[in-house]
Amino acid sequence: MSRKTVIHLFITLGVVLLYVPFLGSFHLFDWDEINFAEAAREMLISGDWSRVQIAFEPFWEKPPLFIWLQALFMKIFGINEFAARLPNAIAGIASLNIFYHIGKKHVGHFFGLFFILAYAGSLAPALYFKTGIIDPVFNLFIFLSIYQWFLAELELGRQNNARIHYLLSGLFAGLAFLTKGPVALLVACTVALIRLFSGGKNAWPGWANIGIAFTTLMLTLGIWLGFETYRHGTWFLTEFLQYQVVLVQGQIEWHNQPWYYHFLVLFFLCAPASVMALPHLFKNPESSTGNESILFSYMRSLFWTVLIIFSIVTTKIIHYSSLCWIPLAFMAGYTLHAGYTKRMVVSRWLSLPVFLSLVPLAAFFTIAPYLLTVENRDILTPLLNKDFFTTRLLLSGNIWGGWEGIPALIFLCFVLIWIFQFAMGIVRHAIPLFWAVLLFGQYLYIFILPKAEKQLQGEVISAIQHETLQDQNIVEAWDYKTFAILFYGNAQPNQFKGKWSETAKKEFPAESAPNYTARKHWITENHISNPVRLITRCDYKVDTLFQKKFRKKTDAGAYYIWEKINPLKPIY
């Protein structure tokens, strides 16, 4: 067995231990995690693998590839949190092995290891592959597409045939499209164009190679688009593309954020890689030459392309800029490698942004569990009394013991000691800092996130599961959006067939799931023999008409459970 194979086996084992345990230790988070898992559950139940569905109606916001992966693992491991998050854990195993391979091939063995450490040892990336959202798989595919384009340029520079790399670039770009949509082509084509205008004659692939990449791309898209169009016509595809336009135009108000939003997200959530990458964000390091320098140019182009696109687009969510984490980790890994091998002197001034990015977060996780204990809630109450829902959300239940902040306090002390030693020149590299952040991320996932999930949605999900277990109960959410009703309520197709379906599209034309919306209104407006339970937020403004139909049954943390009054049984 070769040394390279042994190293990859050790990396795989380490990543499995890092990302697979505890995947199913707490509920999926509303909205994104439950949304995608519910689509996978419905794919299994309905047997329709060509269309993504929510409430057993077409859901055109996302393509199906990631949902296919979740549905496949649910078929193997059951419909649960572990299966929903497992695709990303596997993507993590593949990603870190690929990072090492790229680093070793183009720079050296130790750089490959530092590339891995810079990614896995940064705050959000440490948790990223243990989620059930689409982006980790998408980022892997789009990165592979761009990397193959880079390899093709190298082959052209050696006067070699590069067709296989253009073929693979088109394949991975197509898989990225099938994972998240047209943004894959926008990012990949922009990076290729930047390199075309800045990279000289070898960056021009030639029309034949462009044709190979395009043909492979279209054949890959045909796996889904062709079959879907053949079965159902162009309606689904049209709605899907129109929704992408809505996202770009920022017409979803609660998605809109200021232009600098992703700069802040990257600075804080990708620390310390975001700090250690600073020396290389605008120019290649002087020590990089040849292929290494070209790879640097690709990485920097990828970073700025993603950051600028999603800063211009009004629609902004935290994970939209997560593709930037890969080039940031690459550049941070180079800083680690250069400092370790003494190829460059790492500026002591970097200790300041490390302080600004990590210390507030460490302090927050040190203090928050203490303040959320029953004994200390009086400290928080004056700060939250203007928002009734948030107050109930954070101050209900007896979940926190206060001790949960002790590991964060240890981490805070370590960071402060490292900053002092680095600023004074006692320590000249950041390797221990990244290891500390990696362990801190595992602490967050094992000890903080399960309790945070229980605090934020545990009681309402338990209420949903309890009420739907009762025979004949109809359970719905009212005046707030949630996918937990469907996933944790184990919704079945026959629940969504009824008289309301005849006029659903006419009455609710703007709704993405008009039949589901019509059903909710039907069970509130008409007499139903089955017991009806509505779940609302505690700050829902109840009017007289609602009070005539429903009475509060119980509390579920920051939510209320209402039961419908049977008009045939007067209340005394």
Whole-number Cα distances in Å, 103 to 98, 258, 478: 8, 35, 51
Residue found by looking up tokens 């302080």 in the block: 355
pLDDT beneath 70, residues of the chain? 246-256, 286-288, 314-316, 385, 567-572
Backbone angles phi and psi of 343, in degrees to 5: -80, -20
* pLDDT, tens only, 486-536: 999 999 998 888 888 888 888 888 777 888 888 888 888 877 788 889 999
Tell me the Ramachandran region of residue 376: left when phi exceeds 0, alpha when psi lies from -120 to 50, beta otherwise.
alpha
**Which tokens hold the place of 441?**
């991320």
**How far, in whole angstroms, is CA 499 from its chain's centroid?**
38
| DSSP character string of 239-280 | HHHHHHHHHHHT-SGGGB--TTHHHHHHHHHTTTHHHHTGGG
What's residue 345's pLDDT?
81
**Which tokens hold the place of 411?**
């981490």
What's residue 246's pLDDT?
67
What's residue 251's pLDDT?
47
10 Å CB burial of residue 123 (0-12, 13-18, 19+) is: buried
**Max alpha carbon distance in the chain (Å)?**
90
C-alpha–C-alpha distance, residues 284 and 292, integer Å: 9
Give Cβ neighbours of residue 564 (< 8 Å, ≥ 6 apart): 523, 524, 528, 531, 532, 533, 534, 549, 550
**Which tokens hold the place of 305?**
């392309």
Whole-number Cα distances in Å, 238 to 221, 228, 229, 233, 234: 15, 12, 10, 10, 6
Local structure of 238: helix, strand or coil = helix
Tell me the Ramachandran region of residue 55: left when phi exceeds 0, alpha when psi lies from -120 to 50, beta otherwise.
left
Instruction: Enumerate the domain spans of the chain.
Output: 3-346, 464-564
C-alpha–C-alpha distance, residues 164 and 222, integer Å: 20
Amino acid at 405: G
Q: Judge if pTM exceeds 0.85.
A: yes
How far the first Cα of the chain sits from its last, in Å, is 80
User: Are 446 and 126 contacting, i.e. CB atoms less than 8 angstroms apart?
Assistant: no
Task: Return the ∠ at Cα 318 (arms to 357 and 311), rounded to 5°.
Answer: 90
C-alpha–C-alpha distance, residues 355 and 232, integer Å: 55
What's residue 571's pLDDT?
39
**Which tokens hold the place of 489?**
């309520």
Residue found by looking up tokens 């190298």 in the block: 154
Give Cβ neighbours of residue 292 (< 8 Å, ≥ 6 apart): 106, 107
What's residue 522's pLDDT?
87
